[in-house]
């Protein structure tokens, strides 16, 4: 009897050790959670555009660079098509832990860090090179700091959505008067809405994820977006006319959760920051290449395009917008942006 009790005791001790009493399972779990050797950290990153968009191509480049620069320690899981929500939802998700990174336009920033929306003023930038010099310099750095202070997230780099132009279903837009009474979708951005009111339109803020259906069902008559978005979102199926007004330049920000960023090693942080800047420059070039290519394709899809409208009447129409927002941003900053060479 004593012999059998001894055998049972040894068997019980062996079973306890096998079932987790030992240290190896605990050590493995710690390694997986801390990004130590042998484990991979996966970051969820979302955007609202399609999986064929310039955002997506930039994200794929970003993913590749992050993997290379971290020696495979960090991987990005990309969620396009607004599958994780609209831009505002995803920005809020950075602080509650539902998402790690977001590529967002500045449109929704008016509700978080109003200072950054100075870049949304109509006809502020001469061209893409002008915008890049502003955002990659002192002004852009200061604006990123404002975003970090107001939102509690970490900014990594400026990317872009491009210059926005107007599309309509029934009537071509050649002058501001052609917008009178037209219900046009805008982002949830006061400057954008005020600008279209000044041009006579009826701005209707709406999440991008709802836009195609709203156009299809006739809830709204028109929209405004960069050429790559118009093409990859297939708006040519529900809009007939495109006028290259290029009324707003639409930069984008790559954001990461501050708590997630702080949990990475210094080497990983540096790698992600460098990769975000490099991928952003790549993505900007993709936008310019797409603009040229997609204008040709949009014509072949049946869109009627006004390529060189007289912009002066549009610029004159939005002067009241500058008068309204100059006290908020300061004439000095606006002039500094305009005069950047």
Mean pLDDT over residues 220-230, rounded?
96
- As for how many domains the chain has, the answer is 1
Q: How far apart are CA 27 and CA 22, in angstroms?
A: 10
Residue 56 belongs to domain spanning: 39-338
Mean pLDDT over residues 260-275, rounded?
98
Neighbours of 161 (CB within 10 A): 25
Three-state DSSP class for 256?
strand
Task: Calculate the alpha carbon distances from 230 to 32, 57, 199, 214, 302 in Å.
Answer: 42, 16, 21, 15, 13
Q: How far apart are CA 314 and CA 50, in angstroms?
A: 30
- What integer pLDDT is reported at residue 110 of this predicted model? 79
Mean pLDDT over residues 171-197, rounded?
95
DSSP character for 174? Answer: S
Any domain includes 259: yes
Mean pLDDT over residues 103-120, rounded?
90
- Best CA proximity match to 255, nearest among 72, 85, 81, 43: 43
Any domain includes 25: no
3-state secondary structure 277-329: HHHHHHHHHHHHHHHHHHHHHHHHCCCEEECCCCCHHHHHHCHHHHHHHHHHH
pLDDT band at 108 (very low <50, low <70, confident <90, very high): confident
Mean pLDDT over residues 315-341, rounded?
97
Pull the structure tokens for residue 236: 């040519």
- What integer pLDDT is reported at residue 38 of this predicted model? 64
- Please give the residue that has the higher pLDDT: either 38 or 187: 187
Mean pLDDT over residues 217-224, rounded?
97
CATH number of the domain bearing residue 185: 3.40.190.170
Q: What's the pTM?
A: 0.84
Any domain includes 291: yes
- Is residue 106 within 8 Å of 255, Cβ to Cβ? no
- What integer pLDDT is reported at residue 227 of this predicted model? 96
Mean pLDDT over residues 243-261, rounded?
97
- What integer pLDDT is reported at residue 24 of this predicted model? 31
Any domain includes 21: no
- What integer pLDDT is reported at residue 188 of this predicted model? 83
Any domain includes 27: no
């Amino acid at each position: 009897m004593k012999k059998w009790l001894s055998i049972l005791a040894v068997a019980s001790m062996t079973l306890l050790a096998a079932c987790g009493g030992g240290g190896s399972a605990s050590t493995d779990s710690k390694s997986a959670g801390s990004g130590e050797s042998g484990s991979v950290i996966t970051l969820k990153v979302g955007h609202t555009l399609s999986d064929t968009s310039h955002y997506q191509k930039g994200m794929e480049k970003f993913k590749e660079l992050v993997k290379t620069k971290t020696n495979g320690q960090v991987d990005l899981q990309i969620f396009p098509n607004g599958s994780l929500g609209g831009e505002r939802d995803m920005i809020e998700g950075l602080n509650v832990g539902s998402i790690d990174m977001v590529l967002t336009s500045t449109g929704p920033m008016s509700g978080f860090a109003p200072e950054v929306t100075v870049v949304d003023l109509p006809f502020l930038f001469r061209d893409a090179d002008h915008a890049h010099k502003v955002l990659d310099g002192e002004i852009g750095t200061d604006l990123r700091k404002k975003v970090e202070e107001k939102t509690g997230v970490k900014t990594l780099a400026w990317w872009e959505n491009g210059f926005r132009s107007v599309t309509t279903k029934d009537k071509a837009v050649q002058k501001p008067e052609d917008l009178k009474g037209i219900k046009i979708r805008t982002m949830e951005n006061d400057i954008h809405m005020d600008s279209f009111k000044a041009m006579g339109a009826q701005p209707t803020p709406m999440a991008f994820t709802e836009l195609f259906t709203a156009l299809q069902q006739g809830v709204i008559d028109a929209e405004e977006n960069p050429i790559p978005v118009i093409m990859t979102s297939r708006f040519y199926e529900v809009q007939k006319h495109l006028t290259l007004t290029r009324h707003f330049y639409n930069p984008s920000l790559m954001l990461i959760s501050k708590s997630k960023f702080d949990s990475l090693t210094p080497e990983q942080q540096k790698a992600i920051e460098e990769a975000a800047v490099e991928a952003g420059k790549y993505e900007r070039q993709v936008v310019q290449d797409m603009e040229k290519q997609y204008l040709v394709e949009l014509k072949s899809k049946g869109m009627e395009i006004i390529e060189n409208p007289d912009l002066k009447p549009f610029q004159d129409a939005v002067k009241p917008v500058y008068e309204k927002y100059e006290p908020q941003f300061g004439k000095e900053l606006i002039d500094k942006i305009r005069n950047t060479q």
